[in-house]
Structure 1
């Protein structure tokens, strides 16, 4: 019967921006898995019924993101689904999406460096959940004031980072107007104990009229100077040699 079937092991929750995948082992042979999501207050929801896979997208069963859930992964034979014998199952660790989902990369929409101000405009990562009108809800629609963003910025080609924090979608910081800056943004939930810091956005850099010295450094100028001196020296040497030859030729002809 069912009781001899292997049960799932190494059960893990993977969650980014509330998109949550449950994964486990081993690959089934001669049996299937069915996932049950148990909430503290919500009804049990069945997902990935009779699957031969070892992962299951359980996002839509965790819609109440502040609730704590456990997953039961049942090992079942197809024939015996109608049987009243309870199938063997493994239980996952508890998972609370609000506390445990990772924050994904924010998207930088626009940035400008004008004078001594660097201004960055960005967008909240979206979740798989939708408003009634069909548009996707962002992580801010769930975290509200718990969500902050941190801008890390530094002078191009230097390593000294500075940072600034905001609860809005824009950040403005004071910079050296003659230097280029690179920067990235990261979402943060300060109230969390774990997974406080989200994924980092792409790194972008400004380009206020770079001069060649900034771009290539002094070495290039030294090389150019050496080449120039070599060319001038060669020209002088050739001129001297040619002059001497002309003089010698003129002297011979006079004889």
Structure 2
């Protein structure tokens, strides 16, 4: 008969102690402005604010994969989570826990903030293709370029390229135009080479970017550097018509000045000759 009241008093005491412990441990601030930043599958998680007297621990939750912890007890506000996102078609969320070092041993769940969902295959940005070489011979422009690499490796240790992951879902688009012109044309390939017909008397500028065909957003990758050919480049192509107009104006001015000076010198010479032929006064 005495057991039940004793058990009730024990539960009440535990509840009171729990409330006192909670009152003595104020809730820690949670992360805000959580963003995913990913280029070629290298993915960085960022958030705010900078912690003061507490730390952050990141938990990555996948739809079908086990929860994994990263950047445990960090005082930073960013975390490289690339290595736990290897299943690039999985959709992940990040839980950013606000913790103290002493609270890690506590069974109580720390406060945390949850990120937006992130699917690397759909959301990573394609980096710049690397143009290895290009030639313009007669009416043919040939361009060879290299796929951007990812942080992920094959079993032999070599790095996978974005083509190894996206396969036939990856296209490259070339934008090209005559030098000194604004009218662009484009061409598409699934290989690492472009060969296009051009005007053999003109120089061309161009850049390349990758495209993921299955995407509705973030389809276009970063643009490569802009390069220009120089085959058959003449002075007019190099400097433009404006420079020739300036040179022509200067030449006309010099010729006009020379003519004016010649006329003045000629008149002075005639005047001097006329004075020399006049008789001296008093003679």
- TM norm structure 1: 0.93
1:61-101 per-position Cα deviation (integer Å, ceiling 9, x unaligned): 10111111111111111012111112122221211111111
- Partner residue of 1:100? 123
Aligned Cα root-mean-square deviation (Å):
1.8
- Partner residue of 1:235? 258
Change in Cα spacing, 1:105 to 1:45, as seen in structure 2 (3 Å) is same
Q: Please, which moves more after superposition, 136-145 or 245-254?
A: 245-254
Q: How many residues align?
A: 255
Out of 220, 228, 236, the position equivalent to 1:213 is 236
Ranked by relative contact order (alpha carbons within 8 Å, sequence separation 6 or more), the top structure is: 1
- Partner residue of 2:10? none
- Residue 148 of structure 1: how far off its partner (Å): 0.6
1:131-146 alignment runs, 5 A limit: 131-146=154-169
Change in Cα spacing, 1:233 to 1:134, as seen in structure 2 (3 Å) is same
Aligned: 1:249 with 2:275: no
Is the CA contact 1:180–1:205 (under 8 Å) kept in the aligned structure 2? yes
1:88-167 alignment runs, 5 A limit: 88-167=111-190
Q: After the TM superposition, which segments of 4 or more aligned residues of structure 1 sit over 6 Å from their partners?
A: none
Where structure 2 has 5 or more consecutive residues not aligned to the other structure, the ranges are: 1-21, 279-283
- Residue 213 of structure 1: how far off its partner (Å): 2.2
- Partner residue of 1:33? 56
- Partner residue of 1:178? 201
- Residue 48 of structure 1: how far off its partner (Å): 0.2
- Partner residue of 1:223? 246
Aligned: 1:73 with 2:115: no
Structure with higher Rg: it is 2
Change in Cα spacing, 1:226 to 1:22, as seen in structure 2 (3 Å) is closer
- Residue 30 of structure 1: how far off its partner (Å): 1.6
- Residue 232 of structure 1: how far off its partner (Å): 2.7
Out of 57, 67, 70, the position equivalent to 2:80 is 57
- Residue 171 of structure 1: how far off its partner (Å): 0.7
Is the CA contact 1:150–1:186 (under 8 Å) kept in the aligned structure 2? yes
- Partner residue of 2:281? none
Where structure 1 has 5 or more consecutive residues not aligned to the other structure, the ranges are: none
- Residue 42 of structure 1: how far off its partner (Å): 2.0
Whole-Å separation in 1 of the counterparts to 2:269 and 2:151:
87
Whole-Å separation in 2 of the counterparts to 1:244 and 1:9:
89
Q: Please, which moves more after superposition, 4-13 or 103-112?
A: 4-13
1:13-55 per-position Cα deviation (integer Å, ceiling 9, x unaligned): 1111001111112221121111111112222111000011111
SS in 2 for 1:219: helix
- Partner residue of 1:204? 227
Is the CA contact 1:35–1:48 (under 8 Å) kept in the aligned structure 2? yes
Q: Which has the higher helix share?
A: 2
Q: Which has the higher strand share?
A: 1
